Amino acid sequence: MKIVVTGATGFIGAHLVSELLSRGHEILALVRNESNARSFHWSSEVRLVTADIGCRDSGFFERLGDQDAIIHLAWPGLPNYHAPFHFEENLPTAYRFLTQCVTAGISQVLVTGTCFEYGMREGCLSEGLECQPTNAYSLAKDTLRKFLEVWGQQRPFTLQWARLFYMYGEGQNPRSLLAQLDRAIDDGDAVFNMSGGEQLRDYLPVEQVAQRLALLVEHPELTGVTNICSGAPISVRRLVEQRIAERDAQIALNLGHYPYPSYEPMAFWGDSGRLQSLAAGL
């Protein structure tokens, strides 16, 4: 397949491009900074196009050429989940860009959403649940999906919505939990401050996230929402303890130093059955 990837130099994108190349796909990576993109090991194997998807360049879509699918990862401003720019800027920009891609002839669109679209529900979250977003980021994502679904009634195309849960690995945000833990271990800290750690979450290594996204785009018949998750809840404390053991580190946990986040429930994880059923049939 010929696949356009936005956000190719981001945390997920860098791993996804590698995965797609390993599966034999032809990749066009949309980047804002070409010199930065050239630092990635896969840069010589892809076609790099420098562009800002928010700019209205009349010749932009002609430069893309004939493409089979687009995977839209780009979404500026994270991890600030509450700022209104998510629906004031990111939402209209993404909607305009993706509808223009379809108008230009790209018939398959895969967009990454977020588990926060489910809202403050607890337990196992399946794709059929009604969304109840409670922050600006999840509201914008959920609204984008609905906009695209309605627009697609007038101009049919394949829409795949990959709802991401939690992930970790090389290139993760330095403010994320495991990145902070690794830094504390590297610095020789005696203590690591964290919350009580009893919240249950759904984590995947970013390499597995990339594999699942690649599998999904290879199967356009799997339309609508698909959870990208492990389906196996783990406590945050257990996740941290596993990481300490993997690194054979000696660092004490200062549990309860930080309060539990107010924007997410204590215990939730994804139902991974939809994508697992597809993988099992291969």
* Domain count along the chain: 2
CA distance 214 to 51: 23
Q: What pLDDT shows up at residue 51? A: 86
Same domain, 109 and 239: no
Q: Whole domain around residue 260: which residue ranges?
A: 172-200+233-269
Q: For residue 68, give the CATH number of its domain.
A: 3.40.50.720
- Which domain CATH number covers 177? 3.90.25
Largest CA distance in the chain: 60
Residue 32 CB-density burial (10 A; 0-12 exposed, 13-18 middle, 19+ buried): middle
pLDDT in tens, 27-85: 999 999 999 999 999 999 999 998 888 877 767 888 888 999 999 999 999 989 999 99
Cβ 165 vs Cβ 267: under 8 Å:
no
Q: Cis omega (within 30 of 0) on the bond before 259?
A: no
Is-contact 138 116, C-beta < 8 A?
Answer: yes
| pLDDT classification of 281: cutoffs 50, 70, 90 | low
Global pTM value: 0.94
C-alpha–C-alpha distance, residues 17 and 217, integer Å? 12
Check whether residue 179 and residue 162 sit in a common domain: no
Are residues 105 and 237 located together in one domain of the fold?
A: no
Q: Are residues 253 and 219 in the same domain?
A: no
Q: For residue 227, what pLDDT is reported?
A: 98
Which tens digits make up the pLDDT trace of 103-115?
A: 999 999 999 999 9
